[in-house]
Amino acid sequence: MSILVFVESADGKVKKTSLEAIAYAAGIGGEVVAIALGSVDTSELEALGGYGATKVLHASDERLNQGVIKAYSSVIAQAMDHVGADIMVLANSSLGAPVSARVAIKVDASLASNVVELPETSSGFKVKRSIYTGKAFCIEELTKAKKIIAIKKNAAQISEGGNSVSVEPFQPTLDDSDFTTRIVSTEKATGDILLPEAEVVVSGGRGMKGPEHWGLLEDLAKSLGAGLGCSKPVSDMEWRPHHEHVGQTGVKVAPNLYIAVGISGAIQHLAGVNSSKYIVVINKDPEAPFFKAADYGIVGDAFDIIPKLTEAIRAQN
Amino acid sequence: MKILVCITHVPDTTSKISFTENNTKFDGNGVQYVIGPYDDYALARAVELKETHGASVTALNVGGPESDPTIRKALAIGADDAIRVNAEPSDSLFVAKQIAAIAQENQYDLILMGRESIDFNGGMVHGMVGEMLGMPSISPVMKLELDGDTVKMAREIEGGKEQVESQLPLVAGCQEPIAEWRIPNMRGIMSARTKPLAVVEPSSDEQGSQLQSFELPPEKGEVKMIDAENVGELVDLLKNDAKVL
């Protein structure tokens, strides 16, 4: 059995969420063939063997340097055929999700997104998915011969230790109709830790009183190597950019540690953070509902507590 | 221009989620149903385009008669007519097939929907419909402007956004801040009662998955409170108990 894994990259480097996808595929068992598109460092691709890939395909056509959904779908469907893959695994990312939907139709596969653990295959092929924005799970049987699984963060543990593998060029058939959508420009926060991938997230709410106080949170985030998020009112008031909004209609995060400062904890915010392993809530209102969802809580003034916390973390680093 | 807006009929975001019948059915008892919040953004943008560019807006839902109040709300917000495919929306492939069949019949220029439903969070239907119809599919779209046949969009990516251009016809999965949500006014509510709502039977029964059961996450333990004067204790706990530092 062959499993194809769509590997995403940014600035030539393979994304961590894609390493989880490889680990997930290796967990199912069989031959794990990774495919990368566009410009990616060859050394990065060779190293995928260390994470569980048995073979790596690289479609290096420079038109694929940008993540055009239609073109990517076409390449990945062709790669599934090429390697005879029955299963395709990928991270449920902003590119992976829309691509996987098109591939499912092209290759007539069952598709499940937000899958949180390895499939159960003792009778049928059953996957567990996160639904109701993290408030529940469902078990679904994927009934078609081919299956596509878009995994949620932390669905598999990345393991290192295998040998590097050789990278084979892959030349798909592409035509102009695959590129009718053009990516004109990309605006991306540079040097920051991406929220959906962060192991630690620090978020601020209205309790921070204004964008001018975000330096405090930035310092705390820096001391922890954390991604920076915010509540919906904060992005609505344009204190912070929209891509930092964590919640039901914003980014859903799944870090090991989530620190919420000055966020009351509306149910819509909780929906974006309920996959976090540990939650710390700092709020001056002891009645803030967020404390009920927290593992650790401090009642007090964020402007006092945050600098002390930052210092204490720096001291133990 | 003809715009199709696909809407879901889902429990509102504040609903308590629980299941019945040995965890095989969602417990809708006491639950308030709404237009999916992402679909609501798509609908609001469609109504804006109708006002600025002149367009007809059709709302489409796959669901049973219980969806009708939600569909009437979409009509009150500004959709001109509506279609309900009379079937339980059993999985994303099933729903995509229904939408594609309706779209093929009526030839829409622009097909909008939310980036995902907030019940099953699949986020797959727009891409499937795009592929079935041979149209581009873009998601998640946070801005959408029309310039003749060219559609200029901003698509959210991890840590930022990209500016994307494509041609009509296309399918877009929408999210905020593509438009401001609209609250229906009295005139809208009155006129919605008489706007056409066609009920059609499903054109395909194909599915890619079968739902087996539901589960709730384990209950969260009690919160441990730490004195504001003693943040060092928090750092200790995070390091030695939680082991996350």
Task: Please name the residues between 14 and 43 in chain A that touch chain B, using a CB distance below 8 Å.
Answer: none
Rounded Cα gap, residues B33 and B72, in angstroms: 13
**Tell me, what's the pLDDT at A154?**
86
Residue in B91, B158, B226 nearest the CB of A196: B158
**Tell me, what's the pLDDT at B218?**
86
The count of C-alpha atoms lying within 13 angstroms of the C-alpha of B63, restricted to the half-sphere facing its C-beta, is 20
Please check the confidence at residue B101 and state whether its pLDDT lies above 80: yes
What average pLDDT score do residues B168-189 get? 94
Tokens of A158: 């990345």
Query: pLDDT tens, B31-82?
Result: 999 999 999 999 999 999 999 999 999 999 999 999 999 999 999 999 999 9
**Tell me, what's the pLDDT at A197?**
82
Rounded Cα gap, residues A109 and A142, in angstroms: 9
Listed in order, strand segments (DSSP E) in chain A are 2-7, 9-10, 13-14, 31-37, 55-59, 85-91, 109-115, 126-131, 136-142, 146-151, 167-169, 182-188, 200-204, 227-230, 257-261, 278-283, 296-299
**Cβ separation B121–A132 shorter than 8 A:** yes
**Tell me, what's the pLDDT at A101?**
98
What average pLDDT score do residues B140-146 get? 96
Please state the pTM of the whole predicted model.
0.91
What average pLDDT score do residues B159-175 get? 95
Rounded Cα gap, residues B183 and B96, in angstroms: 28
User: Which regions of chain A are under pLDDT 70?
Assistant: 190-192
**Tell me, what's the pLDDT at A191?**
63
**Cβ separation A180–B166 shorter than 8 A:** yes
Q: Establish whether this prediction's ipTM goes over 0.90.
A: yes
Q: Domains for chain B: give ranges and CATH numbers.
A: 2-212 (3.40.50.620)
In angstroms, the separation between the Cα of residue B141 and the nearest Cα of chain A is: 10
Segment (H or E) for A19: helix A16-28
**Tell me, what's the pLDDT at A143?**
97
Tokens of A143: 């009934």
How is residue A211 annotated by DSSP? Answer: G
Tokens of A38: 């566009």
Cβ-based contacts under 8 A for chains A and B: 256
**Tell me, what's the pLDDT at A301?**
96
Nearest residue of A to residue B222, measured between CA atoms: A295
Angle (CA) A196 B180 A182, round 5°: 60
Query: Is B143 exposed, middle or buried, given 0-12, 13-18 or 19+ CB atoms closer than 10 A?
Result: middle
In angstroms, the separation between the Cα of residue B29 and the nearest Cα of chain A is: 16
Q: Could you tell me if B95 and B125 are in contact, meaning their C-beta atoms sit under 8 angstroms apart?
A: yes
**Tell me, what's the pLDDT at A258?**
97
What average pLDDT score do residues B191-213 get? 97
